[in-house]
Structure 1
Amino acid sequence: MTGTAKGPVAAEIEKRLRDALAPERLHVVDDSEKHRGHAGHDPRGESHFTVTVVSAAFAGQGRVARQRMINAALADLLRDRVHALAMVTKAPGEA
Structure 2
Amino acid sequence: MVDVIDAPVQQLLKERMGTLTPIVLEIVNESQGHGGYYPGKESHFKLTIVSPVFDGLRAVQRHQKVYAAAGDLLSVGKIHALAIHAYAPDEWQGQSVDSPNCAHN
| Matched ranges for 1:49-88 at <5 A | 49-80=45-76, 81-88=78-85
TM-score normalised by the chain length of structure 1: 0.82
In the aligned structure 1, how far is the partner of 2:20 from the partner of 2:40? 28
Residue-pair matches, total: 85
| CA apart distance, 1:79 | 1.1
Taking only aligned residues, the RMSD between alpha carbons, in angstroms, comes to: 1.7
Q: TM-score, normalised by structure 2?
A: 0.75
Specify the SS of the correspondent of 1:93.
Answer: helix
1:31-50, aligned counterparts within 5 Å?
Answer: 31-37=30-36, 45-50=41-46
Structure 1 outlier segments of 4+, above 3 Å: 41-44
**Percent of aligned pairs sharing the same letter:** 40
Higher helix proportion:
1
Partner of residue 91, structure 2? 94
Decide which structure has the larger Cα Rg and report it: 2
The CA distance in 1 between the partners of 2:38 and 2:88, in whole Å, is 32
Q: Which residues of structure 2 form unaligned runs of 5+? A: 1-6, 93-105
Instruction: Give a deviation string over 1:26-63, Cα, whole Å, max 9, x none.
Output: 000000000033xxx57750000000000000000000
Which segments of 5 or more consecutive residues in structure 1 lack a partner in the other structure?
1-6
Residue 83 of structure 2: SS of its match in structure 1?
strand
C-alpha displacement at 1:77, in angstroms? 0.6
